[in-house]
Chain A
Amino acid sequence: NAGVTQTPKFRILKIGQSMTLQCAQDMNHNYMYWYRQDPGMGLKLIYYSVGAGITDKGEVPNGYNVSRSTTEDFPLRLELAAPSQTSVYFCASSYSVGSGNTIYFGEGSWLTVV
């Protein structure tokens, strides 16, 4: 069982470039999330999705876009990368029905914008 898989694990971008962080989960979870974690800080929610075709903004959505065309996939797109987007990005998923609500995280994607 792979859980939540994120790619790439490491990436260096130049200012103004764009890229997509891929995220896939194989647990049939309805809810998926993207967080960023700046050095020495906690987690900040960027976007989340309650199911295929439905997405919503979190605390820090500016500069990012998401889509959720399938239950499994939840890619995060960075448009016009800026140094302030240098961070570790975590994709996560959770189940929606009944007890057992736990959030599972991918291993993180380390992004540096130079």
Chain B
Amino acid sequence: AQTVTQSQPEMSVQEAETVTLSCTYDTSENNYYLFWYKQPPSRQMILVIRQEAYKQQNATENRFSVNFQKAAKSFSLKISDSQLGDTAMYFCAFMAPNTGNQFYFGTGTSLTVIP
């Protein structure tokens, strides 16, 4: 079975500072994908960044980057130059094609950016 764990229910960061959200997962699969989704108060689920497990290079999207440690099964999200609009719930997700394309989500981290 696949599991995704987010151990930080709530976090806060000062505007313009950097924050890292943690995510660990458990799987016996070798081919899989990892994602971070942002959910603002509107509840819309927005893809932030995606990582393929076979790629060693960490994914980057503007101010968002990941630290993917495959051996440790860790997938943290770093947000640089935090902005007020980054305030949201962040969900880590895992998907392995061999598990029927089911997506497994963590319980979320609520991030507040303080002005």
Contacts and interface: CB of A to CB of B under 8 A. Distances in A.
Interface string A101-114: 11111011010000
Interface in B18-69: 33, 35, 42-45, 47, 50, 52
B102 A48 contact: yes
Judged by DSSP, the binding face of A is strand
Contacts of A45: 102
Contacts, number: 48
Given A45-B102, A96-B101, A101 B33 contact: yes
Interface residues of B, number: 21
Interface of A: 30-31, 33, 37, 41-43, 45, 48, 50, 88, 90, 92, 94, 96, 99, 101-105, 107-108, 110
Given A45-B102, A96-B97, A101-B101, 5 more contacts: A30-B101, A41-B107, A48-B102, A102-B47, A102-B50
